[in-house]
Amino acid sequence: MRIPRYWVREQRELCGMQCRLRGFSDESMTAAQAMLEEHARVMQEFFSAPVTAESLERMRGSVAALAGAGQGEYAADLLEPVCRELDGRNIITRNRYGALVLNSTEICFVDVDDPPAGFMDSLLGLVGLGASPEQLMLRALHKLHADYPELGMRLYETAAGWRVALTGQRLAPGNALQRALFTRLHADELYTRLCAAQQCWRARLTPKPARLGMAQKYPGQFSSAAATPQAEAWVQDYLQRCAGRAVCRLVEVLGPQQESPALSLHDELTGAASRCALA
């Protein structure tokens, strides 16, 4: 799970250019700050000379080396404040727009925007007798359960689609089984890439601020050390607006269900068993 304990970010002017700098570490804030300063040095060197294909490639290589070899756009470590650590496999953070997120290597969460449809489903749709999105999702999940009866499966409805929670010892972030299941469920492509890069699965626990009518964006944090007064005030307003709204609704449970404090907390914080409006 790529969630550094210490991190810092800063926007700094270098050679007349505005640069977004970052540094992170699992050891100390001092090490995180040192990484940020090295990032600044690399960018200063890049902007202080004419830009060429060679200098661009060299700069990109240096920045990638700082974050870890082979890191790409969606492979960046999560620089999110940790709000609660349940155990080594489940950590709750606050994401870039202010919602709480469960990061887990125990429970495989799958975001599905469009329900998978087989040949017969498509044929029924052509003659005006198509199944509802919920029926399509249930049908897909039951087919999946028939092929993988050892896995625990939970289907949730969300404001914009569906969420599936999968549990089982054979699952691990990015392994062959997870990739096959994501393909079968038509998992969101960006979410799939994010999970593989960050070596964990993510599930939003609280509503999207935009769906609560919040005009002001989450101010965010500049470091893992502490939230700014502006961010703290925003969170208080956000929590008040979250009352009476749910993130998902539990629809179906299949297969063996393991005892999981993280899954119980997920259902509690998302309002999965409530009748609240989805947000």
Q: What is the pLDDT of residues 21-41, one digit of tens each?
A: 999 998 999 999 999 999 999
Instruction: State the pLDDT confidence band at 147, using cuts at 50, 70 and 90.
Output: very high
Instruction: State the pLDDT confidence band at 197, using cuts at 50, 70 and 90.
Output: confident
Distance CA 131, CA 120 (A): 10
Say what the pLDDT of residue 186 is: 87
Instruction: Tell me what the mean pLDDT of segment 45-74 comes to.
Output: 80
pLDDT value at 53 more than 50: yes
Distance CA 238, CA 212 (A): 8
- The predicted-structure confidence for 208-218, as pLDDT tens digits, reads as follows 999 999 989 99
CB 24 within 8 A of CB 32: yes
pLDDT value at 69 more than 60: no
pLDDT value at 135 more than 60: yes
Instruction: Tell me what the mean pLDDT of segment 249-273 comes to.
Output: 95
Exposure string (b/e) for 152-188, b if CB count within 10 Å is 16 or more? bbbbbbbeebbbbbbbbeebebeeeebeebbebbbbb
Instruction: State the pLDDT confidence band at 120, using cuts at 50, 70 and 90.
Output: very low
Task: Name the average pLDDT for the chain.
Answer: 88
Say what the pLDDT of residue 70 is: 38
Distances (CA, A) of 267 to 22, 164, 174: 34, 12, 24
Say what the pLDDT of residue 95 is: 93
18: its two tokens: 């505005």
Say what the pLDDT of residue 226 is: 82
Say what the pLDDT of residue 190 is: 84
Instruction: Identify the residue with better confidence: 33 or 192.
Output: 33
Instruction: Identify the residue with better confidence: 133 or 233.
Output: 233
134: its two tokens: 């919920």
- CA angle 77/91/179 to nearest 5° reads 65
